[in-house]
A and B are shown apart, each in its own frame.
Chain A
Amino acid sequence: MAHAMTVPESGHAPRPRKAPMPPVLRAFLWAAIGFLLLNTFVIAVDPFRGHPFVTGPSVVFGWVGAAIGWLLGIGLYDAVLLPLMGFPTRWQERQQGWRRYWEFATDHKVIGLQYMMFAVGGFLIAGGIAMLMRYELMTPYLTIFHYPSNYLTAVGIHGTLMMFSFATVFMIGGLGNYFVPLMIGARETVLSKLSGIGVWLVPVGILTVLFSPLLGEWSTGWRGYEPLAGQDANGILFYYLGVLALTMSSLIVALNLVATVMFRRAPGLTWGRLPLFVWGQVTVNLLMLIWFPEIQTTFVMALLDKVVPLNFFTATGSPLTYLMLFWLFGHPEVYIIAVPAFAIWNEIIPVMAQKSLFGRQWAVIGLVFVMMLSGLVWAHHMFTNLRNSEILPFSFFTEMISIPTGFAYMSAIGTLWKSKVRLNTPMLWILMSMFNFLIGGLTGVFLADPIVNLQLHDTFWVVGHFHYTIIGSMVFSGFGAIYYWLPKLSGRTFNETWGKTLAIITFLAFNLTFSQFFLLGLHGMNRWVPAYPAYLQPMNFEVSIFAFILGAAFLGNILYIGYCWRNGAQAGENPWGAKTPEWFTSSPAPRYNFPVQPEIVGSLYLYGEGTKVPVVTTALGELAATSRATQDPQFDWHDYAPDGGGVTS
Chain B
Amino acid sequence: MGENVVFAVLWVVFSVLGEIGDRVIIRHNPMYYIVSNQGQLALQAFNFLLVVLTPVFVFVVLFLVFTMVRFTTKRGEMPPANKRFAIDNKAFVLVWVGGSIALNLLFFLHPTTSAMEQMFALDQPAANTHDLVVDVTARQWQWIFSYPQYGLTQTLTPNGQNLLELPVNVPVKFVLRSYDPYHTYDQYADVIHSFWVPAFGIKEDVIPGETRYEYLTPTAITSYAVNPMVRVQCAEVCGPGHPWMESPLAVVSDQQFAQWVKAQKALANG
Q: Are A and B in direct contact (Cβ within 8 Å)?
A: yes
Q: Is the CB of A227 within 8 A of B208?
A: yes
Interface-facing stretch out of B13-21, B85-93, B125-133, B158-166: B85-93
Q: Is the CB of A528 within 8 A of B237?
A: yes
Interface-facing stretch out of A124-132, A178-186, A394-402: A394-402
List A contacts of B60 (CB < 8 A).
Answer: 409, 413, 434-435, 438
Check: A577 CB closer than 8 A to any chain B CB: yes
List B contacts of A459 (CB < 8 A).
Answer: 235
Q: Is the CB of B89 within 8 A of A414?
A: yes
List A contacts of B181 (CB < 8 A).
Answer: none
User: How far apart are A415's CB and chain B's nearest CB, in angstroms?
Assistant: 8
Interface-facing stretch out of B108-116, B144-152, B251-259, B260-268: B108-116
B191: which of A227, A402, A410, A577 is its contact (CB, 8 Å)? A227
Could you tell me which residues of chain A, from 49 to 97, have a CB within 8 Å of some CB in chain B? none
User: How far apart are B122's CB and chain A's nearest CB, in angstroms?
Assistant: 11
Interface-facing stretch out of A31-39, A331-339, A418-426: A418-426
A494-527 vs B, CB cutoff 8 Å, 1 = contact: the mask equals: 0010000000000000000000000000111011
A524: which of B111, B233, B239 is its contact (CB, 8 Å)? B233
Q: Knowing A231-B191, A431-B68, A454-B42 are in contact, say whether A535-B228 is a contact too (CB < 8 A).
A: yes
B108: which of A320, A395, A577 is its contact (CB, 8 Å)? A395
Q: Is the CB of B73 within 8 A of A452?
A: no
Check: B61 CB closer than 8 A to any chain A CB: yes
**In the complex the two chains form, what is the Cα distance from A407 to B67 in whole Å?**
18
Could you tell me which residues of chain A, from 343 to 370, have a CB within 8 Å of some CB in chain B? 352-360, 362
A378-396 vs B, CB cutoff 8 Å, 1 = contact: the mask equals: 0000001100100110011
Q: Is the CB of A531 within 8 A of B243?
A: yes
Measured as residues with beta carbon below 8 angstroms from the partner, the interface class of chain A is: 35 or more
List A contacts of B239 (CB < 8 A).
Answer: 149, 219, 228, 231
Q: Is the CB of B93 within 8 A of A356?
A: no
**In the complex the two chains form, what is the Cα distance from A353 to B78 in whole Å?**
9
User: How far apart are B233's CB and chain A's nearest CB, in angstroms?
Assistant: 6
Most chain A Cβ neighbours within 10 Å, of B85, B233, B239: B85
Q: Is the CB of A496 within 8 A of B243?
A: no
Q: Knowing A358-B86, A406-B96, A438-B57 are in contact, say whether A319-B207 is a contact too (CB < 8 A).
A: yes
**In the complex the two chains form, what is the Cα distance from A394 to B23 in whole Å?**
31
**In the complex the two chains form, what is the Cα distance from A171 to B237 in whole Å?**
30
Q: CB-nearest residue of chain B relative to A423?
A: B72
**In the complex the two chains form, what is the Cα distance from A392 to B81 in whole Å?**
50
List A contacts of B191 (CB < 8 A).
Answer: 225, 227-228, 231, 315, 319
**In the complex the two chains form, what is the Cα distance from A296 to B245 in whole Å?**
32
B92: which of A354, A356, A414, A606 is its contact (CB, 8 Å)? A414
Q: CB-nearest residue of chain A relative to B197?
A: A524
**In the complex the two chains form, what is the Cα distance from A607 to B100 in whole Å?**
29
Q: Knowing A409-B60, A420-B73 are in contact, say whether A452-B208 is a contact too (CB < 8 A).
A: no
Could you tell me which residues of chain A, from 416 to 449, have a CB within 8 Å of some CB in chain B? 416-423, 431, 434-435, 438, 442, 445-446, 448-449
**In the complex the two chains form, what is the Cα distance from A357 to B68 in whole Å?**
18
User: How far apart are A615's CB and chain B's nearest CB, in angstroms?
Assistant: 17
List B contacts of A528 (CB < 8 A).
Answer: 237, 242-243
Check: B79 CB closer than 8 A to any chain A CB: yes
Check: B22 CB closer than 8 A to any chain A CB: no
**In the complex the two chains form, what is the Cα distance from A530 to B242 in whole Å?**
9
User: How far apart are B151's CB and chain A's nearest CB, in angstroms?
Assistant: 29
Most chain A Cβ neighbours within 10 Å, of B45, B119, B204, B239: B239
B190: which of A147, A315, A414 is its contact (CB, 8 Å)? A315
Check: A467 CB closer than 8 A to any chain B CB: no
List A contacts of B183 (CB < 8 A).
Answer: none
**In the complex the two chains form, what is the Cα distance from A423 to B31 in whole Å?**
39
Check: B56 CB closer than 8 A to any chain A CB: yes
List B contacts of A362 (CB < 8 A).
Answer: 93, 97
Could you tell me which residues of chain B, from 36 to 76, have a CB within 8 Å of some CB in chain A? 39, 41-42, 45-46, 49, 53, 56-57, 60-61, 63-64, 67-68, 71-73, 75
Check: A16 CB closer than 8 A to any chain B CB: no
Q: Knowing A148-B243, A400-B104, A410-B96 are in contact, say whether A454-B88 is a contact too (CB < 8 A).
A: no
**In the complex the two chains form, what is the Cα distance from A528 to B237 in whole Å?**
6
A165-183 vs B, CB cutoff 8 Å, 1 = contact: the mask equals: 0000000000000000000
Most chain A Cβ neighbours within 10 Å, of B107, B111, B192, B231: B192
Q: Is the CB of B235 within 8 A of A496?
A: no
Q: CB-nearest residue of chain B relative to A141?
A: B243
Q: Is the CB of A399 within 8 A of B72?
A: no
B100: which of A318, A402, A527 is its contact (CB, 8 Å)? A402
Most chain A Cβ neighbours within 10 Å, of B53, B84, B201, B240: B240
Q: Is the CB of B31 within 8 A of A522?
A: yes
List B contacts of A422 (CB < 8 A).
Answer: 72-73, 77-79
Q: Knowing A228-B191, A409-B60 are in contact, say whether A608-B228 is a contact too (CB < 8 A).
A: no
Q: Is the CB of B83 within 8 A of A609?
A: yes
List B contacts of A419 (CB < 8 A).
Answer: 67, 71, 79
**In the complex the two chains form, what is the Cα distance from A317 to B23 in whole Å?**
49
Most chain B Cβ neighbours within 10 Å, of A319, A438, A450, A524: A524
Check: A455 CB closer than 8 A to any chain B CB: yes
B199-225 vs A, CB cutoff 8 Å, 1 = contact: the mask equals: 101111101110000000000000000
Q: Knowing A533-B228, A608-B84 are in contact, say whether A455-B203 is a contact too (CB < 8 A).
A: yes
Q: Is the CB of A451 within 8 A of B119?
A: yes
Q: Is the CB of B104 within 8 A of A531?
A: no
**In the complex the two chains form, what is the Cα distance from A454 to B235 in whole Å?**
11
Q: CB-nearest residue of chain B relative to A221?
A: B237
User: How far apart are B206's CB and chain A's nearest CB, in angstroms?
Assistant: 9
List A contacts of B208 (CB < 8 A).
Answer: 227, 315, 319
B148-179 vs A, CB cutoff 8 Å, 1 = contact: the mask equals: 00000000000000000000000000000000
Check: A541 CB closer than 8 A to any chain B CB: no
User: How far apart are A191's CB and chain B's nearest CB, in angstroms?
Assistant: 36
26 contacts between A and B (CB under 8 A): A149-B239, A315-B208, A316-B209, A319-B209, A353-B79, A354-B81, A359-B88, A359-B89, A384-B194, A385-B205, A395-B108, A403-B97, A410-B97, A417-B71, A420-B71, A421-B67, A423-B72, A446-B46, A450-B115, A451-B112, A451-B115, A451-B116, A458-B196, A458-B203, A531-B243, A606-B85
Q: Please give the residue numbers on chain B whose beta carbons come within 8 Å of chain A beta carbons, in ascending order.
A: 3, 30-32, 39, 41-42, 45-46, 49, 53, 56-57, 60-61, 63-64, 67-68, 71-73, 75, 77-89, 92-93, 96-97, 100-101, 104, 107-108, 111-113, 115-116, 119-120, 123, 188-192, 194, 196, 198-199, 201-205, 207-209, 228-229, 231, 233-244
Beyond A315-B189, A421-B79, 20 extra complex contacts between A and B, CB < 8 Å: A148-B241, A219-B239, A219-B240, A228-B192, A354-B81, A357-B87, A359-B87, A388-B116, A392-B112, A399-B104, A399-B108, A403-B100, A420-B72, A420-B79, A442-B56, A451-B115, A457-B203, A526-B235, A527-B235, A528-B243
